[in-house]
Amino acid sequence: MNERRRTPSRPPGSRPPRRKPNPRPVDVDPARQAALDTLRAVRERDAYANLVLPGLLAQRRITGRDAGLATELAYGACRAQGLLDAVVAECSNRPLSEVDPKLLDALRLGVYQLLRTRIPAHAAVASTVDIVRSEAGSKLAGFANAVLRRAGELDEQQWIDRIAPDPATDPVGHLAMRHAHPKWIARAFADALGSEGDDLAAALAADDARPAVHLTARPGEITADELAAITGGDPAPYSPYGVHLDAGAGDPGDLEPVQEGFASVQDEGSQLVSLALTRVELDGPDQRWLDLCAGPGGKAGLLGALVTLDGGRLDAVEQAPHRADLVRRVTEGLSVSVHVADGRDPGLEPGYDRVLVDAPCTGLGALRRRPEARWRRRPSDVGDLTKLQRELLLSAVGLTRPGGVVAYVVCSPHLAETEGVVSDVLRRTGATQLDARPHFPGVPDLGDGPGVQLWPHRHGTDAMFCALLKVA
């Protein structure tokens, strides 16, 4: 409040001054408020949108179409943040750094509705301005109104034409803006694909779309056909254990087979790389398997079920105790032992027949499943991670018997995390790299090998990488 206009204090015993009636209370739409609160939690607390929003919806009893709208707005605005900010910056008379962060969250939500939904422009503007007015008063509501009206003068394509770099001189920068990715990530995709054109555009577009939920039918418990029939999903195209559900299907955790442990939520790519490890022909024993980075247990659940059916055993190593607990829960009843240890020196007896290293990575291959991740990751993350990846893979090779096999997996197509790590470890050990492609039967477009890079736009999976190493 302005100091100079402060009301003088009232003399003792006098009647309190009549209060001005409050301005008309603003009806704030609960779906949009939930979306906005999610954006705030992501920005203020580094929260994960897909953990925050379901909690808010349950707490506020937002269901049905409203829940669908809140989800579309929250996840969509998180994904598109860089593009939305560029448009806000164009429409604002002050630099973004001077816009109050809470107001910026609301503007992102408004611009998202204008550019990327079919919500009529007047409703997108009015609902956002209402929220700003209810929280911050008329002055900022006026600012929001002015920015959003300007943003609504062009559609998404026209904004891209105006603000994205020229495709002739900066094709990667152009596609990065068009598909709302940071340029360094678009660059990493371009390097892995060997394309700065249509293939890159298709990869970024697929990465920007809301993905289908994939389930794994637990081997020995239920078949993929049975699981598809129960859940109303479709059997997956490549994994014999996979089922795809619609992107908009409700919370898969509520499905009975998932609650009963017959099925788990797992990207089909994650199933395929686990299966590739099991499909390599081995001479000699095949009873001791190891998962060196097991939490939260997606791959350990599948490998554990398969090795149990074969009469063998899986050791599952995880450094973080709470994630090791998740692995224990997923693998209950299977021949699996969970160890809380550092995979670089887990203190286990060497001589494993098959070893999986699903190393911590940038996660650039699963950005479509984590709405805010692309704006949170930094290029500097890559260096620290590749060092850890190399150390874990070296440890895995050391723990594997001669003639045994190691699968090195990351959910990233970044060449430093994929081929860079593998070629370095091959150089330092006597291991040889196998052609992984025959171990992905029926999967098309696997490139020149020997490693396999899966892609959302080609395979409908996360962009997982898999290299298979035979130990000398």
Ligand X SMILES: C[S@@+](CC[C@H](N)C(=O)[O-])C[C@H]1O[C@@H](n2cnc3c(N)ncnc32)[C@H](O)[C@@H]1O
> Which is closer to ligand X, CB of 86 or CB of 294?
294
CB 346 within 8 A of CB 317: yes
Q: Which of 263, 232, 228 is nearest to 249 (CA)?
A: 232
Task: Take residue 22 and report the two structure tokens written for it.
Answer: 């409050």
Distance between CA atoms of residues 123 and 153, nearest Å: 14
Q: Which of 308, 306, 303 is nearest to 316 (CA)?
A: 303
Task: Take residue 219 and report the two structure tokens written for it.
Answer: 């081997």
Is 318 annotated as ligand-binding?
yes
Is 13 annotated as ligand-binding?
no
Task: Take residue 392 and report the two structure tokens written for it.
Answer: 């874990």
Q: Which stretch binds ligand X (CB under 6 A): 27-35, 152-160, 342-350, 448-456?
A: 342-350
Q: Which stretch binds ligand X (CB under 6 A): 81-89, 90-98, 312-320, 431-439?
A: 312-320
Is 361 annotated as ligand-binding?
no
> Which is closer to ligand X, CB of 216 or CB of 231?
216
Distance between CA atoms of residues 177 and 111, nearest Å: 15
Task: Take residue 345 and report the two structure tokens written for it.
Answer: 């020196």
CB of 211 to ligand X, least distance (A): 16
Q: Which of 338, 250, 254 is nearest to 301 (CA)?
A: 338
Check residue 295 for interaction with ligand X (CB under 6 A): yes
Q: Which stretch binds ligand X (CB under 6 A): 84-92, 193-201, 313-321, 429-437?
A: 313-321
Check residue 294 for interaction with ligand X (CB under 6 A): yes
CB of 330 to ligand X, least distance (A): 8
CB 313 within 8 A of CB 335: yes
Is 139 annotated as ligand-binding?
no
Out of 176, 180, 317, 366, point to the residue binding ligand X (CB under 6 A): 317
Check residue 296 for interaction with ligand X (CB under 6 A): yes
Q: Show contacts with ligand X in window 130-159 (CB under 6 A).
A: none
Is 315 annotated as ligand-binding?
no
Out of 298, 371, 456, 460, point to the residue binding ligand X (CB under 6 A): 298
Query: CB neighbours of 421 closer than 8 A, spacing ≥ 6?
Result: 359, 386, 389, 390, 393, 408, 410
CB of 315 to ligand X, least distance (A): 12
Distance between CA atoms of residues 40 and 428, nearest Å: 46
Query: CB neighbours of 187 closer than 8 A, spacing ≥ 6?
Result: 172, 176
Based on the residue annotation, tell me whether 411 is a catalytic residue of this protein. yes
Query: CB neighbours of 48 closer than 8 A, spacing ≥ 6?
Result: 42, 370, 372
Is 3 annotated as ligand-binding?
no
Check residue 344 for interaction with ligand X (CB under 6 A): yes
Check residue 320 for interaction with ligand X (CB under 6 A): yes
CB of 343 to ligand X, least distance (A): 3
- DSSP SS3 for 324: helix
CB of 103 to ligand X, least distance (A): 36
Is 466 annotated as ligand-binding?
no
Question: Which amino acids are annotated catalytic?
Answer: 411
**Site residues, ligand X (CB under 6 A):** 270, 293-299, 317-320, 323, 342-344, 358, 360
Binding site residue list for S-adenosyl-L-methionine: 293-299, 318, 342, 358
